[in-house]
């Protein structure tokens, strides 16, 4: 077997040196394939295409033919470096200084991939191939539009008969220290744009006009209050933010005819995307009839346009998966990880339609920042956690 792939630090250095800013493959999937093939994986590359969008390269690799089947999912694409001059060390250099490795993707999430590869290599060296099957499902389109990535790779694999019993996503889930947090679900997310139609006129003759600003204030107020819920056992309260209100009126003596507001709601498991959208429309319709800001007026006219593809809320309830992972984290770090559903969306929202999915990776503090970096010690610790998880999951799965 390749000695290199058992070393997460060497693996990560190889991956960081591939400038794989979305949508560029940058050599990262080729480097990963070169780590996995010598371990016995069958590695396939799948290019996803969509009109008007750049082609995206993805990778699927599997070892074993029988069950149970565990998937490791992640992405090799990274966000842009930002102000390159502000970096202490070159963003694609993988330089080590002060016990840390610097580079774009160090924690989000080439580091997670590097550690999982190392864990698998060590397990195969010690115990032979897994008693079942193990797959890597790695996309190059997580940080971008996420259209030609995990969603299509899952479809492609499922059409070829691939079935999975569980999935671990290696995103950086720990806020401060390795062992803080496992993600066992995610809130849903829906965005929309409201356009309020009024009547333009003279500011001194408002009775002849219908000010769209009054309308948009009434509608956005109704979205922000009262709270949608108080939270649930596993989730924070749902929260809606109005992200912009645009009128674009340059005159002080003109009543504007149109106002546009955008919003985003992160919702918990007391809602579905459909019910939360219905609640938003109910609130808007009630506010449109409210005469408080528009006394004596007929109901205001507005349109709502929903952003494409809402993210659905999910909560993973799979004892074997959660217990083997959280047990592994505790055995290695001595700390019981919090089982959390906080934070933004991830590709787990697509995977949950195929199998139970949890997320655990590095400490996320520097993700997407200038000087993204990872503690060398964390790479070794995460590798041991992943190795322990593999032993426990396949062990328990056999029992």
Q: How long, in residues, is the chain? A: 399
Q: How many residues bind Zn ion (CB under 5 A)?
A: 3
Q: Is 246 a catalytic residue?
A: no
Identify the active-site residue in 7, 25, 57, 77: 77
State which residue has the least CB distance to Zn ion: 108
Residue 388: HSE in the Cβ half-sphere, 13 Å Cα cutoff: 17
Kindly state the smallest distance separating residue 111's Cβ from Zn ion, in Å: 10
Tokens of residue 163, six digits: 């079935």
User: Are 130 and 387 contacting, i.e. CB atoms less than 8 angstroms apart?
Assistant: no
Closest CA to 196 of 255, 251, 275: 255
Cβ proximity to Zn ion, 146 vs 223, nearer residue: 146
Which residue number, 216 or 367, has a Cβ lying nearer to Zn ion?
367
| Contact string 155-194 vs Zn ion (x = CB under 5 A) | ----------------x-----------------------
Rank residues 57 and 171 by Cβ distance to Zn ion and give the closer one.
Answer: 171
Query: Does 100 show up as a binding residue in the annotation?
Result: no
- Does 141 engage in binding with Zn ion (CB under 5 A)? no
DSSP, collapsed to helix, strand or coil, labels residue 194 as strand
| 109 binding Zn ion? (CB under 5 A) | yes
Question: Which one of the listed residues 142, 180, 229, 269 is annotated catalytic?
Answer: 142
> How far apart are CB 157 and Zn ion at their closest, in Å?
20
Q: Which long-range contacts (CB under 8 A, 24 or more apart) does 306-309 make?
A: 306/190, 306/191, 306/192, 306/277, 307/190, 307/191, 307/192, 307/193
Q: Please, which residue, 299 or 343, has the CB nearer to Zn ion?
A: 343
330 is in an annotated binding site: no
Contact between 91 and 81 (Cβ < 8 Å): yes
Contacting residue, 57, 108, 210, 359, with Zn ion by CB under 5 A = 108
Kindly give, in sequence order, each residue whose CB lies less than 8 Å from that of residue 329, ignoring residues fewer than 6 positions away: 179, 182, 335, 336, 337, 360, 385
The answer to whether 142 is a known catalytic residue is yes
Residues near Zn ion (CB under 5 A) are 108-109, 171
Catalytic residues: 77, 142
């Amino acid at each position: 077997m390749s000695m290199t792939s058992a070393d997460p630090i060497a693996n990560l250095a190889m991956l960081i040196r591939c400038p794989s800013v979305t949508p560029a493959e940058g050599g990262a999937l080729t480097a990963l394939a070169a780590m996995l093939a010598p371990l016995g994986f069958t590695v396939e590359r799948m290019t996803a295409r969509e009109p008007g969008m750049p082609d995206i390269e993805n990778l699927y690799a599997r070892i074993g033919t029988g069950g149970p089947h565990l998937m490791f999912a992640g992405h090799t694409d990274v966000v842009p470096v930002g102000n390159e001059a502000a970096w202490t060390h070159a963003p694609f250099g993988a330089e080590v200084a002060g016990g840390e490795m610097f580079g774009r993707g160090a924690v989000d999430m080439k580091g997670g991939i590097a550690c999982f590869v190392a864990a698998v290599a060590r397990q195969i060296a010690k115990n032979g191939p897994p008693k079942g099957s193990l797959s890597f499902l790695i996309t190059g389109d997580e940080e971008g539009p996420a259209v030609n990535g995990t969603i299509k790779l899952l479809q492609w694999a499922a059409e070829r008969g691939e079935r999975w019993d569980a999935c671990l996503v290696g995103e950086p889930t720990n806020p401060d220290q390795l062992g803080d947090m496992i993600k066992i679900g995610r809130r849903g997310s829906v965005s929309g744009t409201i356009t309020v139609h009024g009547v333009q006129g003279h500011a001194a003759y408002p009775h002849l006009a219908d000010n769209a600003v009054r309308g948009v204030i009434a509608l956005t107020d109704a979205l922000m209050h009262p709270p949608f819920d108080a939270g649930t056992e596993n989730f924070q309260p749902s929260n809606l933010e109005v992200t912009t209100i645009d009128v674009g009126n340059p005159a002080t003596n003109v009543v504007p005819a149109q106002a546009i507001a955008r919003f985003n709601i992160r919702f918990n498991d007391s809602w579905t995307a459909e019910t939360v959208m219905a609640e938003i429309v109910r609130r808007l319709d009630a506010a449109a009839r409210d005469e408080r800001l528009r006394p004596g007026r007929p109901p205001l006219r507005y349109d709502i346009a929903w952003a494409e593809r809402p993210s659905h809320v999910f909560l993973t309830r799979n004892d074997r998966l959660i217990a083997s992972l959280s047990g592994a984290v505790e055995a290695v770090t001595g700390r019981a990880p919090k089982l959390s559903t906080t934070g933004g969306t991830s590709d787990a929202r697509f995977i949950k339609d195929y199998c139970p999915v949890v997320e655990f990776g590095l400490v996320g503090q520097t993700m997407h920042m200038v000087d993204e970096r990872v503690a060398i010690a964390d790479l070794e610790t995460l590798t041991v956690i992943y190795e322990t998880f593999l032993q426990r999951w396949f062990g328990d799965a056999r029992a």
